[in-house]
Amino acid sequence: MTASIYFKITLLFAVLTGLLLAIGYAVGLYFGSPYLFMGGALVLAGLFNFLSYFYSDSLVIRMSRAKIIQESENPTLFRVVRSVAQKAQIPMPRVGIVDSPLPNAFATGRGPNKAVVCATSSILQTLSPEELEAVIGHEIGHVIHRDVLMSSVAATMAGAISYIGNIALWSLWLGGGNNRRGGGSPLLLLAAAILVPLGATFIQLGISRSDEYNADEFGAKLTRNPGGLITALQKITAKAQSRPISSGSSQAPSPATASLWIVNPFRGNSLVELFSTHPSLDHRVQRLKKVAREMNLYIP
pLDDT tens digits, 14-67: 777 788 788 888 877 777 777 787 788 778 777 777 777 777 778 788 888 899
pLDDT in tens, 235-283: 999 998 887 665 555 556 777 677 889 998 876 444 445 568 889 999 9
CA 263 to chain centre: 11
Give the pLDDT confidence score for residue 224 in this predicted structure: 96
Q: Point out the residues that are catalytic.
A: 139
Whether the model clears a pTM of 0.85, i.e. scores above it, the answer is no
**Cβ proximity of 139 and 233 under 8 Å:** no
156 pLDDT higher than 80: no
Give the pLDDT confidence score for residue 285 in this predicted structure: 97
Give the pLDDT confidence score for residue 1 in this predicted structure: 52
Q: Of the candidates 264, 219, 215, which has an alpha carbon nearest to the alpha carbon of residue 237?
A: 264
pLDDT in tens, 78-120: 999 999 999 999 999 999 999 999 999 999 888 899 899 999 9
Give the pLDDT confidence score for residue 136 in this predicted structure: 98
Where do the domains of the chain lie?
Answer: 3-294
Least trusted range by pLDDT, from 100-104, 132-136, 174-178: 174-178
pLDDT in tens, 281-300: 999 999 999 999 999 998 87
Which pLDDT band, with edges at 50, 70 and 90, does 142 fall under?
Answer: very high
What is the distance between the alpha carbons of residues 105 and 169, in angstroms, rounded to a whole number?
A: 38
Give the pLDDT confidence score for residue 205 in this predicted structure: 80
229 pLDDT higher than 80: yes
